[in-house]
Structure 1
């Protein structure tokens, strides 16, 4: 936690309980009293409230890639300040805090195909609202460009009940082991009774239509589901995760494959354990898993 965040916490504590000692609070927060008063004076001269200071702080810390909903949730989680969503949006507009939006894929504008796989049907059929954990998993593979023209591939499995990334694997090749390695261990952790009702949904990629992958699904008794051909919207939740991940990571600064592994692993830990989600009522996936 940076100094500005600590100053904001001290200021919030004083506003809630004026009788508290500034020196004791600053000592507890490990900041100087003079530094706190200097920060407070600067904020006063700018005519900004604590909320404005924190909104700008969060926005710039997240490299202009978080919207009003995420900022509202972080204000509650990190600073115990509950600000109306409309007010957050108004203050962001006032200070010119515009979210960096990734470019839309031009190929998504074409009419989506409706061809189901000959053997495996689209059992999920875009029923993405799932309340129970280990009921529906969605999976896919995406490419990761890093360094100077290097490329790796990430396979991820997402639990729609908790929005948690329950399994991921990275490889230099989009081969079958990329999606197979570790999948058996993931399924072994699911109780047998749940496993019989579990749906694992993917696109019609060659890894998922291969005989070894389909045999693994059958051996664990899970229901395999596939999107319609060329229809990315049928697997929107995992596509959305990949999009947010690429928005928030700066993979070009990863010069080696090992650095890429560390960066992606750190992000997925952050996504599961620390990143609140609006659809989970401000909880993280790990917190949601404890209630499901």
Structure 2
């Protein structure tokens, strides 16, 4: 069997196997027939050169290599000199020149050693596949694991089981190139140096992070490093090291839901249609709505949602809840529709701030389907809904609600106050009438 320095292609293997002097061919090796070996030894003893012998046998020197005939003849003559023709008939590559023995000739100790080697290989193969599967589960969105992680797993398995001669097989199993794995191994020293540098810089970053109790980001740390330590460090590197050592700022975190809502336009705002013109002189044409917080009892909170008529100042609908869910506003709007009995002014406008509830898709859809135009205050401008804020201010001044011990008790008092506000509380700007009386006055006029 001659050792070849390069790999044969499938086409070249077929050409070599068609030669009657060849038994079989692999990517790297050629196994010659015993008859050809004996004839080659006799011809060489008679004075023929190795290249002449192989050429006469039909071998292409450019295909098998110029050195192959000489090396094969040297080995075959050595075997023939020590073991005779029987040695050439049984010749196999390996120690002892006469080749490795048949399985029947192996000792019990050698068979046990081979069995242990197979078990070790199976254990290594199983461990590598399990670790690769576990890593893939950790990266469900990635089409393929990074090669560096695969190289690291191969290296761990090779070191643990001592399978340095099976590196090529393990690389094939992990679907990476063997050359890439060896390049990764030679870069181990560089990775260690980088890891050492990361740990050193990470200590500096953590010192500033701890000094400000975690309320600091990469840019602030960069400025502090330059001013206090005289160290210039790229802010991208600082962010990388903060991620690596799990140092995240405890304030001003980006809200992923806000970004998602903006991208999907789930919470769109509306223009300010009123421009503070709350009183249009016509009942149920301009409606104002908002939510206020009521603290009662032993630190308990309740939330009151109201709808107010901009012309008559009358509270047309309200709902009190212990939570700030979207249902708070939806129930208020449903009470408003029940109050109007489906008779919505053709130019009706409902005005609010830009709060979460009023930009929510469900609330916006409910307002649009009911026949209202939606209007919103400018961002951060409470004056754009001042009439609604005025009602809440008067209610909190006049209503004794803080000593209530239950939500039911608070709800009863709020209902009583709103009834009083609509029917009994006279207002100077309403020609000294109550909201109910002023509404009747506008309708009659």
TM-score bracket, normalised by the shorter chain, equals 0.5 to 0.7
The whole-number CA distance in structure 2 between the counterparts of 1:239 and 1:182 is 17
Q: Which has the higher contact order (CA 8 A, sep 6+)?
A: 1
SS of corresponding position for 2:388:
helix
Partner of 1:125: 275
- Deviation, 1:201, is 0.2
* 1:105-116 to 2 correspondences below 5 Å: none
The whole-number CA distance in structure 1 between the counterparts of 2:391 and 2:295 is 16
> Relative to structure 2, which stretch is displaced further, 177-186 or 274-283?
177-186
SS of corresponding position for 2:292:
strand
The whole-number CA distance in structure 1 between the counterparts of 2:279 and 2:327 is 30
1:216 to 2:330 alignment? no
The whole-number CA distance in structure 2 between the counterparts of 1:184 and 1:240 is 24
Partner of 2:322: 172
1:181 to 2:337 alignment? no
1:163 to 2:313 alignment? yes
TM-score (ref. length: structure 2): 0.38
- Deviation, 1:129, is 2.5
1:196 to 2:346 alignment? yes
Partner of 2:416: 266
The whole-number CA distance in structure 2 between the counterparts of 1:119 and 1:160 is 21
Give 5+ residue unaligned stretches, structure 2.
1-266
- Deviation, 1:252, is 1.7
Q: Over the residues paired in the alignment, what is the CA RMSD in angstroms?
A: 1.8
* 1:33-72 to 2 correspondences below 5 Å: none
Task: Summarize the Cα distance change of 1:125–1:243 in structure 2 as closer, same or farther, 3 Å threshold.
Answer: same
1:231 to 2:378 alignment? no
The whole-number CA distance in structure 1 between the counterparts of 2:333 and 2:394 is 24
* 1:13-24 to 2 correspondences below 5 Å: none
- Deviation, 1:256, is 1.3
Q: Which has the higher helix share?
A: 2
1:138 to 2:288 alignment? yes
The whole-number CA distance in structure 2 between the counterparts of 1:168 and 1:267 is 12
Give 5+ residue unaligned stretches, structure 1.
1-116
Aligned residues of 2:306 and 2:332 also touching (Cα < 8 A)? no
1:252 to 2:378 alignment? no
The whole-number CA distance in structure 2 between the counterparts of 1:185 and 1:259 is 21
The whole-number CA distance in structure 1 between the counterparts of 2:269 and 2:292 is 24
Aligned residues of 1:187 and 1:195 also touching (Cα < 8 A)? no
**Which digits, 9 at most, give the CA deviation of each residue in 1:169-191, with x for residues without a partner?**
00001111111114135235548
Structure number with larger C-alpha Rg: 2
The whole-number CA distance in structure 2 between the counterparts of 1:258 and 1:163 is 26
- Deviation, 1:258, is 1.1
1:241 to 2:396 alignment? no
Aligned residues of 1:170 and 1:178 also touching (Cα < 8 A)? yes
The whole-number CA distance in structure 1 between the counterparts of 2:417 and 2:395 is 7
Aligned residue-pair number: 176
